[in-house]
């Protein structure tokens, strides 16, 4: 299930449970903080972390492409986690994925981890740009910033929300956050943390569950977004 959301008048995104956003006009999938190879980077440092996270990340990309029919993917920074990310097994998985999606245009708005990891191999056919990079209604960046006259979409923060349940239980989930001039996309990668500050006045939070996305109520009447059931 996807959730259409009018971020500002005339500017729509479809929010996906795969933790990505889709611009239906540009036929473009927006993905932040994939952090491919993060787990293998940690394992190479001797830290015991889960395996097969790259496969999970690529499977969710496949699901998002199949759901939307995207013709392009723009990665909002941190496609690779570190220079250790391109271990032979990881590179083979990414190369195989690219081979199955040869017609897709891929663009990377460089993030802080990309600068340390180095550019992805030329064989993957990824266009490399610096932010802010303009696409349709959006100014696309990695780290949040103000871009005069534009609505900014960013990653980097790994936004989340803490939901209170019964018996003092707490559930931490990724989310999208949309303010008047800045939208934050959740981290796409399978092995990433969450940053969950309280929402700012008028900020719209859309929580990502296992198979759905759900908009949370906005206090007051200053919401910048309109939801369509």
Side-chain-side CA neighbours of 51 within 13 Å: the count stands at: 2
Q: Give the CATH number, domain containing residue 53.
A: 3.60.21
Q: Which domain holds residue 171?
A: 3-227
Please compute Rg for the chain using Cα positions: 17
Q: Each residue of 73-115: pLDDT tens digit? A: 999 999 985 566 577 788 889 999 999 999 999 999 999 877 8
* Averaged pLDDT for residues 55-71: 95
Q: Kindly give the interhelix angle for 53-68 and 88-100, rounded to the nearest 10 degrees.
A: 10
Q: How many domains does the chain have?
A: 1
> Mean of the per-residue pLDDT values for the chain?
85
């Amino acid at each position: 299930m996807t959730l259409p959301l009018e971020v500002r008048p005339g500017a729509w995104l479809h929010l996906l449970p795969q933790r990505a956003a889709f611009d239906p006009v540009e036929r473009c999938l927006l993905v932040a903080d994939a952090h491919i190879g993060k787990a293998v980077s940690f394992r190479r440092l001797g830290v015991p972390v889960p395996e097969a996270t790259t496969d999970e990340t690529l499977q969710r990309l496949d699901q998002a492409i199949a759901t939307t029919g995207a013709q392009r993917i723009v990665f909002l920074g941190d496609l690779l986690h570190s220079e250790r990310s391109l271990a032979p097994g990881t590179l083979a998985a990414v190369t195989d994925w690219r081979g199955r999606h040869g017609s897709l245009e891929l663009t990377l708005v460089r993030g802080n981890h990309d600068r340390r990891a180095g550019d992805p191999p030329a064989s993957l056919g990824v266009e490399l740009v610096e932010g802010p990079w303009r696409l349709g209604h959006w100014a696309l960046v990695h780290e949040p910033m103000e871009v005069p006259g534009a609505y900014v979409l960013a990653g980097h923060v790994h936004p989340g929300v803490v939901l209170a349940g019964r018996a003092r239980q707490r559930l931490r989930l990724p989310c999208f956050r949309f303010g008047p001039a800045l939208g934050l996309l959740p981290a796409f990668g399978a092995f990433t943390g969450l940053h969950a500050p309280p929402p700012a006045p008028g900020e719209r939070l859309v929580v990502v569950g296992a198979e759905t996305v759900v908009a949370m109520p906005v206090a007051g009447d200053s919401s910048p977004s309109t939801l369509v059931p």
